[in-house]
Structure 1
C-alpha cells in the first residue's frame, strides 16, 4: 500500500493549545478517551493483519513483540502524557513509537498501518513545532528505509528505496501540511475559547453587578416608601397618643376619645399602606378606583384634624396622569405636609393641585418660620426630588410669597391614551 494517506492529524505548534487551554470548555478529558480508543484499534488491527500474512516465525515474533511494546508504552507513558502534557514523557513515548513502527514496517509492508497512529500522535502529544517537524521527518525517513530493507538478505534494496522514498516524501509533506494547518486551527480555537471564557466571566460579573444594583435600588425604593407612609403614619400615631394623654390629664375624656379614634383611623391607614407595600401595589389611597384629587383631599383633611392647622385646599380635576405620576404627586403632598408638621410651626397651609396643557402642578406653602440659610435637605426631600426626577418632573423649594416655605412639584402631562396604558401596565 502507499503511505501518502497515512499522514497526520490534530497537532500543536509550540504555542498551540494544551489541555488546560483546550479544556477551557471542559471537553478535553472526554475527547482524549477517543484518542485512546483510536490508537488501540489501529494497533490491534495492525497486529491481526500481520498475523494473517505468511511471515516466518522470527519476523512474526519480532512484529508482534514490537506491537506489544507500543501498546505497553502508550498505556504507561502515552496516555499519561496526553492528559498531563508532560513533554519529557511525551517525547520519550514518541521515540519508542517511531522505533517500534519502523521495526514492524521492516518485517512487512502491512506495518505501515501504524503510520496512521504514529503521525497523528506526533502532532497530538508534542507541543513544540521543531520537535513535531523533526519527529515527522525521522518517522518518514525511518519508514522509507524499513520498506527498502530486505530481512532475508539483511540489507537495503536500492531499487525499493528509490520507489518508496517519494511515497514517504508525499506522506511527510501531507503530514506536515495537515499538522501545521490543524495546529493553526487549534490556536484559533484556543483564542476563541479564551474569548468565550472571558465573555462568560464578563456576563457573570455584569449579572452580579446588575443584581447588586437592583437590590440597592429596591432597598432604596422600599426605604422611601416606608419613610413616606409608615414612618409618617407612626409619627401621627405618636403625636395623637400624646395629645390623648394630655386630654386625659386635664380631664377632657371626650377629646381623648376623639384623639383615640384618630389613632385607630391612622393605624388602619398605615396597615393598608403596609399591605400595599408588601403586595408591591400603588398607595392604598389610590387603590379601588380612587382618584388623585380624592386621595389628596383625604390627606389634607387628616392633616387638619391631627394638627389643628388651618388648611386651604384648591384641588382641580386632573387628567392625563399615569399611575406613577399620581404616586409621585401624592407622596410629594405627604412629604410636604409632614415637613410642615415637623418643622414649620405654621398657622395655615395652602395645598393647590392644578393642571394646564403641559404640566400638572402641586404646590404646598405655609406661613411658618421658613427655611434657615444653612439648612440641608433631609432624606424625605431628597427622596422626593429623586422620585419626581425619575418621572421627568421638577421640584422647587423656596420661600413663599408671604413668607414661610413653598414646595412646588411639576410633572409633565401625558396623552390620555398613554395614561390609560400606564394604568393598565400598573394594574398588571
Structure 2
C-alpha cells in the first residue's frame, strides 16, 4: 500500500540497489515475500465467497452470473493483478482494479453475500495502486456502487429508496474504515521506505568517509615516509657521495691513508643508513635512538658530522632528559636537518648544538658561523627540509625559528612545550663536547 507521492516498497523492486545488504533491498525483499501471502489470502477470500454463493439461496441465472463474475475476478488477478503486484506496472494494476470493482458490484447485485469480496478488493486497491487520487476514487466508487447494488431490485429493475437508505450508512462506515486504514498503512509503509533510504544514505556516507579517511591516512603516511627518507637515507647517501669523492681525490694525490680513513667513514655511514632503512621499514624508532638516549644520539650525530666535514662541532646537552619518544624523534630529526643544511649551504668553520630544558619546555638550537641567510632574508623561501621540520615541530605543539645567529651565520631553534615532560627539566651533569672528543 502506498500513496501517490511515494512508490511502495514493491515499486522499488525494479530498481533494487546493487548492495546486497542495503536497507531498501531488504525492504524490497520483504515485499516480494509478503506478496505471496497476498496471493494466498486473495484466493481464499474468492473461493470462500464462491462457496457462500453456492450454499445460499442464489439459484438459476443469478448464481451463474455471480459465479461468472467471481471467475472473472480470479482470472483477472492471475493475468493482471498478480503481475502488477510484482512489477508495479500501474496501467496493468488499474485495468485489473476496474475489472475487480465492476465484477464485485455485479456479484453484490445478485446477492448480498457478494459483499464478502469487499475485503479483498478494498485491500487490493491500496496494495496495487500507487496514486492517491486513484485509490480514493476507486474506494468511493466501490462503496457507492455496493450501496446501490444492495438497494437494487432485480424484479423491478429499480433502486429501492428504503434499501438505499439502509445500505448507504453501512457502506459509508465501510468506506471511512477503508480510507482510514489504507491511508494509515500507506503512511506507515512510506515512512518505512523513507527510513530505509536514510539508512542507505547513512551507509553510503559512512563508506565515503571511510574512503576519505583511508586516503588521508595514506597521504599522511606517504608524507611521513618521504620526510623520514629525506631526514635519514637521503642525508646519509649525500654523506656517502661526498666521502667517496673526497676518497677519490685523496687517491689521486697519493694520500692512501687519508683515502682509507674516508672509506672507513663511508662504510660506517652506509651501515648507519642500513640501520635507518630497517627501522623505517619496521616503523620503529630511529636507529640512533634505539637502545640509547637523545643526548647520546646527538653526540654520535655531531661526531660523524665533524669527521665527514672537518667542521668543529660543539655540543651541549644534559645527560638525561625527561622527554616523550615522539619529542626525541622530533628533536633528533631537527638536528639532522639543521646539520644537513649547514653541510650544504653554510660553508661554516664551527657549529654549535645546544639542547636544554627549562620551565617552559625543551629548546634545541643549532647555530653556525657560515655565510648566513640570503640578503633578502625576509623573503627567504624554505625548502622541503625546513618545511618538513616545521611540520614535525608543529605536530608536537612546538615552534621553529630560523634566522641570523649572533655574530654571523644562521641559527635554527626548535622549542617544544613542557607538557610532554611532566617531571620538569632533567637534572644532572651537562656534557660539553668538541669535535675531537665526540664519538
Could you say whether these structures have the same fold, taking a TM-score greater than 0.5 normalized by the shorter chain as the test? yes
Match of 2:393 in 1: 388
Match of 1:354 among 331, 341, 356: 356
Q: Please give the per-residue CA displacement for 1:232-264, whole angstroms capped at 9, x wherever unaligned.
A: 111111111112222222222222222222112
Match of 1:425 in 2: none
Match of 1:285 among 282, 288, 294: 288
Q: How does 1:94-243 map to 2 (within 5 A)?
A: 94-149=97-152, 159-243=162-246
TM-score scaled by length of structure 2 = 0.85
Match of 1:308 among 300, 306, 310: 310
Is the contact between residue 318 and residue 360 of structure 1 (CA under 8 Å) also seen in structure 2?
no
Is the contact between residue 352 and residue 366 of structure 2 (CA under 8 Å) also seen in structure 1?
yes
For 2:93 and 2:206, the matched residues in 1 are separated by 38
Q: CA deviation at 1:227?
A: 0.5
For 1:41 and 1:104, the matched residues in 2 are separated by 19
Q: CA deviation at 1:181?
A: 2.7
Q: How does 1:393-404 map to 2 (within 5 A)?
A: 393-404=398-409
Q: How does 1:33-44 map to 2 (within 5 A)?
A: 33-44=33-44
Q: Aligned to 2:419, what secondary structure does the other structure show?
A: coil
Match of 1:25 in 2: 24
For 2:60 and 2:224, the matched residues in 1 are separated by 90
Q: Aligned to 2:276, what secondary structure does the other structure show?
A: helix
Q: Aligned to 2:130, what secondary structure does the other structure show?
A: coil
Is the contact between residue 315 and residue 352 of structure 1 (CA under 8 Å) also seen in structure 2?
yes
Bigger mean CA offset, 42-51 vs 129-138: 42-51
Bigger mean CA offset, 153-162 vs 39-48: 153-162
RMSD (Å) for aligned C-alpha atoms? 2.6
For 1:153 and 1:102, the matched residues in 2 are separated by 18
How many residue pairs match? The answer is: 408
For 1:330 and 1:345, the matched residues in 2 are separated by 22
Q: 1:133 to 1:141 in 2, by over 3 A?
A: same
Match of 1:86 in 2: 89
Match of 1:11 in 2: 2
Q: 1:198 to 1:415 in 2, by over 3 A?
A: closer
Unaligned runs of 5+ in 2: 17-22, 425-439
TM-score scaled by length of structure 1 = 0.87
Q: 1:320 to 1:58 in 2, by over 3 A?
A: farther
For 1:60 and 1:236, the matched residues in 2 are separated by 108
Q: Please give the per-residue CA displacement for 1:97-156, whole angstroms capped at 9, x wherever unaligned.
A: 111222333444443332222112212322332222111011112223334456678665
Q: Aligned to 2:355, what secondary structure does the other structure show?
A: strand
Q: 1:93 to 1:371 in 2, by over 3 A?
A: same
Q: Please give the per-residue CA displacement for 1:181-214, whole angstroms capped at 9, x wherever unaligned.
A: 3333444445444443433333333222222221
Q: Aligned to 1:127, what secondary structure does the other structure show?
A: coil
For 1:189 and 1:178, the matched residues in 2 are separated by 16
For 2:423 and 2:171, the matched residues in 1 are separated by 79
Match of 1:406 in 2: 411
Q: CA deviation at 1:343?
A: 0.8
Q: Please give the per-residue CA displacement for 1:263-317, whole angstroms capped at 9, x wherever unaligned.
A: 12111111111111111111111123x1110111111111111111111111123
For 2:219 and 2:256, the matched residues in 1 are separated by 48
For 2:242 and 2:262, the matched residues in 1 are separated by 10
Q: CA deviation at 1:342?
A: 0.7
Bigger mean CA offset, 368-377 vs 178-187: 178-187
For 2:5 and 2:173, the matched residues in 1 are separated by 26
Is the contact between residue 36 and residue 79 of structure 1 (CA under 8 Å) also seen in structure 2?
no
Is the contact between residue 29 and residue 83 of structure 1 (CA under 8 Å) also seen in structure 2?
no
User: Is 2:262 the counterpart of 1:259?
Assistant: yes
Match of 2:279 in 1: 276
Bigger mean CA offset, 218-227 vs 239-248: 239-248
Q: 1:193 to 1:45 in 2, by over 3 A?
A: closer
For 1:244 and 1:188, the matched residues in 2 are separated by 81
For 1:121 and 1:57, the matched residues in 2 are separated by 30
Match of 2:384 among 375, 379, 383: 379
Is the contact between residue 39 and residue 82 of structure 2 (CA under 8 Å) also seen in structure 1?
no
Is the contact between residue 46 and residue 74 of structure 2 (CA under 8 Å) also seen in structure 1?
no
For 1:277 and 1:256, the matched residues in 2 are separated by 31
Q: 1:44 to 1:181 in 2, by over 3 A?
A: closer
Q: CA deviation at 1:174?
A: 0.7
